[in-house]
Amino acid sequence: RWLSLRGVWAQALERSGDLRTAIAVLEALPDDQGRGRPARALLDGMLGRLLWHAGKIREASRLMARASEEGAGLPALDRAKMLHNAALCSYAAGDLGGAISSWEQALLLFERLHVGVEQVHVQVNLAVGYREAGRWERARQACAWALERSQALGLPDLEAMSAGNLGDLHLARHQWEDAERYYAVAAEVAEKHGLAGEKAE
């Protein structure tokens, strides 16, 4: 319970705009306090998020990775979400390999839990990661799967992003006609649903 109260305190400080003190409250926890318990993993994840907002990306990435470890104590769904956030943080920190690894682990958990929408989110990100890593076929598969599932689930923002990702992939491969075709699909979906440009990017 003491760990949970520490988290509530940090959240209250964050909401009041005192990000620095909120971070200090969580950083003051002894490193081994509550290790292996869900409450500690959640606090590590919270601290990672606060550090991310403070621009300390590498520290945030390390903490989120620790919070998402198999032995950290989180239930499967929470662990999958933490892995997804850890991947985003690793990607922002320039660790493409770490991001891809975390996304792949998150995807396996979301598949096992039959969480459809989150699977699409992860595949959209994996498509970008695979493309940047030069893993063209894996990128194509992730893009195509995300596009198909986002259409089936009625997720126009993810449909537009998936089509745009396919356009980016074909552009990187100098396949101009295919790139133009998928960019057109992304633009059409965005226009039809009134999506902001950044959502359809």
pLDDT in tens, 78-92: 999 999 999 999 999
* Cα–Cα distance for residue pair 47/168, rounded to 1 Å: 34
Q: Using one digit for the tens of pLDDT, what is the confidence trace for 160-184?
A: 999 999 999 999 999 999 999 999 9
Answer yes or no: is pLDDT of 201 > 50. Answer: no
Classify residue 114 as exposed, middle or buried by CB count within 10 Å of its CB (0-12, 13-18, 19+): exposed
pLDDT above 70 covers a percentage of the chain that reads: 96
Place of tokens 């292996």: 36
Share of the chain above pLDDT 90, in %: 79
pLDDT range class, residue 4, cuts 50, 70, 90: confident
Confidence of residue 199 (pLDDT cuts 50, 70, 90): very low
pLDDT at 1: 61
pTM exceeds 0.85, yes or no: yes
